[in-house]
Structure 1
Amino acid sequence: MKYICGWEKPPLLFDTLILTGAVIARDFDFTTLNGKVAHIVNEVAPNDEWVEWAKWAKDKNVRSDSLFGDAGKHGFDYGGARLTQHRSEI
């Protein structure tokens, strides 16, 4: 996500971005993907321990990037048409 957001006009456009175990903030601003990604699929697993550890690292200031979060465990807050979220157990 950091790579995609770092470009005003990326060298490559994405039709679908599939996220699994996403360590991205739940309140991610999806408008930053306008013209870069058409659709995002987020696979959400409430018991994904790797996402939990990543969230712990942010809370302890081990990693403080604003993109960092636990959307892979809880899903994104965004409810727009470009996002599909599936929930499953690991």
Structure 2
Amino acid sequence: YLSNAGDISEKFECVILCGSILTTNFDWGDFIDRGIVGRVLNTISEEDEWVRYIPDGGIRFLAKDDLFGAAGKSGFVKEHPQLCQIRSALLTHNNVFREDVVTAQWLPYLEASKGALEQKAFQLLLERLKSET
């Protein structure tokens, strides 16, 4: 959706991923730098039994799109200051919604992300004004 919606795309203050089957090469920086997404938190579950099947784990018919991959098991390789990745060898696909993960990681991240899009819009405006003078 974010890749193809263009100017009609919704804007997201914060995206939290768990069990993500996006490709590890997905470039969140493009969406962050354009002010479409404020911040991204990827919860990496190294033992995720389902993510390992996408796309190289033997179920190829589930992963025909280039966007599919194992970011939920391996993480994203393209870094960005507004992309945070937390890793756990304890989490699996079925237990990632643990109360301690939600309360200690996700809720504080959501709270800290408030205003991220406004900050980016202000930064983009300043950059535009500087380039015009």
Normalising to structure 1: TM-score of the pair? 0.83
For these two proteins, the number of residue pairs brought into alignment is 87
Shift of 1:5: 1.8
What does residue 28 of structure 2 align with? Answer: 30
The gaps in structure 2 that reach 5 residues or longer are: 92-133
Is the Cα–Cα contact under 8 Å of residues 9 and 36 in structure 2 kept in the other structure?
A: no
Higher strand share: 1
What amino acid is the match of 1:9?
A: D
Summarize the Cα distance change of 1:31–1:79 in structure 2 as closer, same or farther, 3 Å threshold: closer
What amino acid is the match of 2:10?
A: L
Q: Which runs of 4+ in 1 moved over 3 A?
A: none
Identity %: 31
- Per the alignment, in what secondary structure is the counterpart of residue 87 of structure 1? strand
Shift of 1:28: 0.9
The gaps in structure 1 that reach 5 residues or longer are: none
- Per the alignment, in what secondary structure is the counterpart of residue 43 of structure 1? strand
Higher helix share: 2
Give, in whole Å, the separation in 1 of the partners of 2:11 and 2:52.
30
Shift of 1:36: 1.1
Return the index of the structure with the highest Cα Rg.
2
Give, in whole Å, the separation in 2 of the partners of 1:60 and 1:45.
19
